[in-house]
Amino acid sequence: MASKDTFFYILIFLFVFLIAFHIISVIFSLYWLIRWIDIPLHFFGGVWLAMFSIWIFYISGKFSLSKKPYILSFILTLGLVALGGILWEFFEFSFDFVSHKKWLAQLGLSDTISDLFFDLLGGSCAYFIFINKSKNG
């Protein structure tokens, strides 16, 4: 597995990449031109949130879940991913409200459910990859 510093730098890089990609997508109207472009962003947003959770609970040394059952850390990780996804959906709703629906970020219930699904899918994938790598050294 990557060293503590390497994991942290990957976490920062992924965060900056996601924010930059989001800003570029808004500026160039990519969300409206390419309707599915938010799917990989939500997936990798879930990956980032799970990696952040793993950083906090396993790598940073602030908490020690390494001796706890995997189901507990999985629930905590997915809980953080779900919370981040829900907060992002509130952000999209607020964006629509503030912009007086000039740009629609919130496309309806099916879009919201899809976004949350891909957040959780990305988070689950990142968690299981981490657990697999930590078991195998």
Over the stretch 64-92, which tens digit does the pLDDT of each residue have?
666 667 788 899 999 999 999 999 988 88
Domain count for the chain: 1
Q: What is the pLDDT of residue 1?
A: 53
What pLDDT digit, counting tens, does each position of 111-124 carry? 889 999 999 999 99
pLDDT of residue 26: 84
3-state secondary structure the chain: CCCHHHHHHHHHHHHHHHHHHHHHHHHCCHHHHCHHHHHHHHHHHHHHHHHHHHHHHHHCCCCCCCCCCHHHHHHHHHHHHHHHHHHHHHHHHHHHHHCCCCCCCCCCHHHHHHHHHHHHHHHHHHHHHHHHHHHHC
Share of the chain above pLDDT 90, in %: 45
CA distance 74 to 90: 24
**pLDDT score recorded for residue 62:** 75
Residue 84: its pLDDT value, please?
97
pTM for the structure as a whole: 0.86
The residue range of the domain holding 109 is 4-136
Average pLDDT of 2-24? Answer: 90
Instruction: Say how far apart CA 106 and CA 125 lie, in whole Å.
Output: 26
Q: Pick the residue with more confidence: 133 or 39?
A: 39
Condensed to tens digits (0 to 9), the pLDDT of residues 32-55 reads 889 899 999 999 999 999 999 988
